[in-house]
């Protein structure tokens, strides 16, 4: 017997907490209201159809169609649509009591010059917001429209304002929104804060954190489930989801120049975890395992053993490498990966062909007798190696010679290698065994110069930052830095001279030392939500 097809429908209703007609869209399945799965294709299709039915209500810039979070991906995003008499620009300002005004130019996603369609970002959850729009046609005078709405409360229940401490000149903060990802107390939400520490957007995910955001074509790409990747357009519409059956994603991914994601993953049929690389083609949806580090580093793996209890629960787990970041380069189709468990940085070449280990950076004694000694780069200078580092990123620089480039990273300065209980050789000077946040200790932002031709690496910069034994990241914004010390529940933006401009604390009353944000990255969202400058 063939089961009856499910009937999914979307219905538009007026939102009661607004002084003009703002709509919401509810979804039913077989006539029963359901909590929306925003990443289900059938849900996106019926929501799209409901918006089409409402289009005629957006008759002009003075009478736009406004729909609150129709696609269910951004809890306070407002879909705006209206007819025009030609092309133009929509500038808008969100004003809310007790916060700085938030002004942006919205990107127009409608290719027709006869209408505008975009998403207004910046409404503060749980607060009264007045949104003032100004439509400036290419020919003619401006048209202004304003509406006031009390937004629904934060879906995550988290803070709408962070504690901000301005140390330098706040006007020097770079444009953009800080994306707080993998907040353990609300793992399936990503919170986006402005430079004043005000919550301006909130991604509702599917049971897993955002590991990072990448941009491909006219879409934003991110992890939303442990085995699910989504592409989301500037309107908040989920245009594609990809399920990686047989794998669970963790920690990080990157996008290649030809539209593939290289993803850190666990192969669920294996006994070990967090030690393979998967490649996903964003156009076709096909995927494959491209690198298995149990094969690439087989001799080293034979020296390790499962351990527990730990992050994965009370039992033992074969977490012998614990990859935590990946950065792809077109130079030889290579990746730089960071391994927390043995505090190593590895480069692998030809990841979509015949993968080979190119080099290793790390404590030399860890690799003694493993057959990988010849892969170790030589250290030039007197400085300790890293301890449990995160977010290792390659930076090519035209001013450097061929074969040279920089690596930046968050050095946790934490040493723990539970998979090698027999290891008694020296550990890097300055590392600590303390597994939690400790204000008396320091982690570091570090920058290396790698010279592949000479087979060397040297340290060119180090900056002390609040200590976090695990998680955390740095982001080089082309001079300024964003640094997140996860267990310390704080992030900051530094200027090019490595002085703190402003620090943001995101602890929440009642949380414990087990709380943290995995990453904080800053994005401009230009050409996605906002018009490109």
Average pLDDT estimate for 483-490: 97
Q: What is the CATH number of the domain that holds 88?
A: 2.60.40.10
CB 177 within 8 A of CB 200: yes
**Residue 195 domain flag:** yes
pLDDT band with cut points at 50, 70 and 90 for residue 1: very low
- DSSP state, 3? P
Pull the structure tokens for residue 186.
Answer: 């609300």
Residues 128 and 230 in one domain: no
- What count of residues does the chain have? 533
**Residue 112 domain flag:** yes
Residue 263 pLDDT: 98
**Residue 102 domain flag:** yes
pLDDT at 236 over 60: yes
Q: Which pTM does this prediction carry? A: 0.96
Residues 171 and 316 in one domain: yes
User: Which whole-number Å values give the CA distances from 218 to 21, 212, 238, 253, 285, in the listed order?
Assistant: 29, 17, 12, 19, 17
pLDDT band with cut points at 50, 70 and 90 for residue 36: confident
Residues 196 and 122 in one domain: no
Residues 133 and 105 in one domain: yes
Q: Report the distance separating Cα 109 and Cα 117, nearest Å.
A: 5
**Residue 2 domain flag:** no
- Phi, psi (rounded to 5 degrees) for 374: -70, -15
Dihedral sign for Cα atoms in the order 396, 398, 399, 401 = positive
Residues 179 and 32 in one domain: no
Task: Please give the tally of structural domains in the chain.
Answer: 2
Of 129, 151, 173, which residue is a domain's last? 151
**Residue 117 domain flag:** yes
pLDDT at 404 over 90: yes
Residues 147 and 175 in one domain: no
Residue 513 pLDDT: 64
Q: Report the distance separating Cα 299 and Cα 281, nearest Å.
A: 31
Residues 211 and 105 in one domain: no
pLDDT at 3 over 50: no
Tokens 């209980």, located at residue: 421
Residues 104 and 253 in one domain: no
pLDDT at 312 over 80: no
Tell me the residue range of the domain where 61 lies. 8-151
Residues 189 and 44 in one domain: no
Which long-range contacts link 42-50 to residues 24+ away (Cβ below 8 Å)?
Answer: 42/6, 42/8, 43/8, 43/10, 43/72, 44/71, 44/237, 44/238, 45/8, 46/8, 46/9, 46/10, 47/10, 47/71, 47/72, 47/237, 48/237, 49/10, 50/10, 50/11, 50/12, 50/25
Residues 101 and 180 in one domain: no
Of 151, 186, 221, which residue is a domain's last? 151
**Residue 531 domain flag:** no
Q: What is the CATH number of the domain that holds 436?
A: 2.120.10.80
CB 433 within 8 A of CB 481: no
CB 213 within 8 A of CB 523: yes
Q: Report angle CA 399, 402, 406 to the nearest 5 degrees.
A: 60
Note the pLDDT tens digit of each residue in 340-396.
999 999 999 999 999 999 999 999 999 999 999 999 999 999 999 999 999 999 999
Q: Report the distance separating Cα 44 and Cα 49, nearest Å.
A: 9
User: Which whole-number Å values give the CA distances from 55 to 71, 79, 214, 528, in the listed order?
Assistant: 15, 11, 31, 21
User: Which whole-number Å values give the CA distances from 329 to 203, 254, 348, 377, 393, in the listed order?
Assistant: 29, 10, 10, 19, 10
Residue 415 neighbours by CB distance under 10 Å: 18
Q: Report the distance separating Cα 469 and Cα 389, nearest Å.
A: 9
Pull the structure tokens for residue 504.
Answer: 């943001």
Residues 176 and 78 in one domain: no
**Residue 281 domain flag:** yes
Residues 189 and 301 in one domain: yes
Return mean pLDDT, the chain. Answer: 95
**Residue 3 domain flag:** no
């Amino acid at each position: 017997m063939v089961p009856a097809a499910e009937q999914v429908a979307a219905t538009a209703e007026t939102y009661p907490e607004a002084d003009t007609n703002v709509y919401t869209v509810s979804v039913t399945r077989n006539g029963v209201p359901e909590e929306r799965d925003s990443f289900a294709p059938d849900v996106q299709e019926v929501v799209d159809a409901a918006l089409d039915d409402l289009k005629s209500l957006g008759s002009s810039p003075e009478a736009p169609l406004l729909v609150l979070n129709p696609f269910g991906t951004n809890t306070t995003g407002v879909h705006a649509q209206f007819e025009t008499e030609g092309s133009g620009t929509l500038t808008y300002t969100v004003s809310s009591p007790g916060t700085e005004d938030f002004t942006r130019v919205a990107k127009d996603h409608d290719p027709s010059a006869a209408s505008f369609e975009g998403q207004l970002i910046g409404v503060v959850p749980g607060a009264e917001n007045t949104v003032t729009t100004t439509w400036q046609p290419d020919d003619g005078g401006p048209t202004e429209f304003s509406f006031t709405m009390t937004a629904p409360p934060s879906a995550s229940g988290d803070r709408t304002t962070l504690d901000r401490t301005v140390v330098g000149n706040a006007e020097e903060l770079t444009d953009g929104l800080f994306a707080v990802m993998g907040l353990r107390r609300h793992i399936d939400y990503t919170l986006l804060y402005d430079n004043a520490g005000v919550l301006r957007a909130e991604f509702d995910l599917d049971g897993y954190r955002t590991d990072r955001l990448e941009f491909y074509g006219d879409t934003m790409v991110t992890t939303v489930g442990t085995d699910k990747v989504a592409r989301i357009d500037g309107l908040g519409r989920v245009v594609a989801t990809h399920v990686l059956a047989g794998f669970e994603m963790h920690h990080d991914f990157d996008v290649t120049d030809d539209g593939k994601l290289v993803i850190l993953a666990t192969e669920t049929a294996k006994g070990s975890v967090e030690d393979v690389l998967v490649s996903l083609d964003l156009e076709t949806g096909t995927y494959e395992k491209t690198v298995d580090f149990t094969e690439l580093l087989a001799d080293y793996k034979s020296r390790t053993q499962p351990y527990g209890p730990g992050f994965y629960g009370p039992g033992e787990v074969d977490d012998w490498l614990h990859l935590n970041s990946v950065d792809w380069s077109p130079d030889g189709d290579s990746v730089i990966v960071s391994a927390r468990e043995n505090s190593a940085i590895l480069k692998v070449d030809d990841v979509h062909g015949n993968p080979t280990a190119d080099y290793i950076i790390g404590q030399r004694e860890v690799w003694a007798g493993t057959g990988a000694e010849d892969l170790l780069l030589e250290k030039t200078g007197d400085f300790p190696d890293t301890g449990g580092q995160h977010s290792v990123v390659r930076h090519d620089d035209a001013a450097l010679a061929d074969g040279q480039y920089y690596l930046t990273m968050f050095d946790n300065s934490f040493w723990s290698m539970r998979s090698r209980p027999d290891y008694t050789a020296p550990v890097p000077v300055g590392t600590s065994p303390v597994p939690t946040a400790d204000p008396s200790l320091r982690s570091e932002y570090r920058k290396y110069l790698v010279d592949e031709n000479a087979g060397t690496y040297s340290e060119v910069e180090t900056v002390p930052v609040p200590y976090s034994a695990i998680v955390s990241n740095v982001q080089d914004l082309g001079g300024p830095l964003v640094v997140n010390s996860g267990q310390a529940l704080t992030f900051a933006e530094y200027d090019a001279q490595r002085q703190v401009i402003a620090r943001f604390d995101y602890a929440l009353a009642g949380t414990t030392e087990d709380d943290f944000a995995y990453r904080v990255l800053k994005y401009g969202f230009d050409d996605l939500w906002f018009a490109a400058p």
